[in-house]
Structure 1
Amino acid sequence: MFRLILAALAFNAVLALPALSVEIGDDGLHKQDWFSITFRDIAEDIEEAAAEGKRLAIVYEQRGCIYCRKLHEELLADPEVRDFIKAHFKVVQYNMFGDEEVTDLDGEVLTEKTAARKWGYVFTPTIVFLPEELPEGKSVAEAAVATMPGAFGKWVFLHMFEWVAQKGYENGEHFQKYHARRLAELRAAGRQDVE
């Protein structure tokens, strides 16, 4: 009888949890209402991001990607992660197999899928971080200051965005060392949720 009562309580507790729902668009990709909709001209997107005091990040996803679902339902659902990204980055979503037109930094006009091939992106999600200023004559892959292939745990994910926002790629501190230092700082500050 005791087990039956515990099972009933557990079932009711699950029902009481808020349902996490992320909209899925006609293209089969999960959507965030704060992602930017642009003409996919990378140079213009970098300039617009800079005008907003932000950096441009492109996220490549695909229909049915379980890691993309994790990106949206776990990582971007975390207010600490989401709020940092929204404050510091203009995020534009691309479809790994999409046909929307893209204008690369070198001026070449491609589709989302041919751009993914040109730039060498094969995993979803892949997040590409672009420089603050327009590079001359380079493609996105050549100009990127960092690329994150995959959906990692909260701290790796958030720390990569922090590292890029702080221009860690310029100061000589490798991302892995930055990540280890930030984890140590969080633990020293008493954070209990640090893995």
Structure 2
Amino acid sequence: MLRNIAKVLMAAMLAAPLSAAELGDDGLHKTAWMRDTFKDLREDLEEANGEGKRLALIFEQRGCIYCTKMHEEVFPRPEISQYIEENFFVVQLNLYGDVEVTDFDGEALAEKDMARKWGVLFTPTILFLPEEVSENVTATEAAVAMMPGAFGGGTTLDMFTWVNEKRYALDNGEDFQRYHARRIRERNNGSAD
């Protein structure tokens, strides 16, 4: 009987995500690669650039099943979490939060009001920013890509890679969809995730 219990416990431990994010006091998942900042986007961009990383903003909300999916199934994958941590400066925003965010255009609003200003409707939504943002431009106007919703590991890693490699700026006709299709073929698994 004890042997069977030990087997069940071992199986449960092995089935658990490698490094599942913890829930914070705000009910949002927290990962080691998320930054706790004053949410002044110009300062965050400057800090990201200083570290040689790309700024990404991720909107989430309490109780979001798709956020949970990303934090339990996608982000814990070592190749994904390591890539994000090495290449991105990620600031988490709460779709219904009250913390003040200062946009690139200088306007300061609560997270929930900034989400409305930017037209963010789904969680998770990730905005990817360029290294330089002009004055009087909002984050969504400046964004080089937006990832609305939960996606599988391959799609998520491909989006972060596509942005980090600045493929959006290349004049080779390979938009994200073509890039992702090519990466799927290269992985030679024949199915998109």
- Length-normalised TM-score, structure 1: 0.88
Secondary structure of the residue aligned to 1:87 is: helix
Corresponding residue of 1:31: 30
Corresponding residue of 2:156: 157
* 8 Å CA contact retained: 1:186, 1:194: no
Superimposed CA distance per residue, residues 96-126 of structure 1 (whole angstroms, 9 cap, x where no aligned partner):
0000000000000101000000000010000
Counterparts in 2 of 1:139 and 1:193: CA distance versus 1, 3 Å: same
**Structure 1: which 4+ aligned runs deviate by more than 2 Å?**
7-22, 191-195
> How much identity, in percent, do the aligned residues show?
54
Q: CA deviation at 1:186?
A: 1.8
Secondary structure of the residue aligned to 2:146 is: strand
Return the letter of the residue paired with 1:176.
Q
Q: Which has the higher Rg, Structure 1 or Structure 2?
A: 1
Q: Does 1:119 find its partner at 2:121? A: no
- RMSD over aligned CA atoms reads 2.2
After superposition, residues 1-40 of structure 1 pair within 5 angstroms as: 11=8, 14-17=11-14, 19-20=16-17, 21-40=20-39
Any unmatched runs of 5+ in structure 1?
Answer: 1-6
What is the aligned residue count?
A: 186
Counterpart Cα distance in 2 of 1:16 and 1:116: 37
* 8 Å CA contact retained: 2:97, 2:110: yes
- Length-normalised TM-score, structure 2: 0.89
Secondary structure of the residue aligned to 1:17 is: helix
Counterpart Cα distance in 2 of 1:33 and 1:56: 16
* 8 Å CA contact retained: 1:103, 1:110: yes
Counterpart Cα distance in 1 of 2:9 and 2:45: 48
* 8 Å CA contact retained: 2:118, 2:140: yes
Q: Does 1:176 find its partner at 2:190? A: no
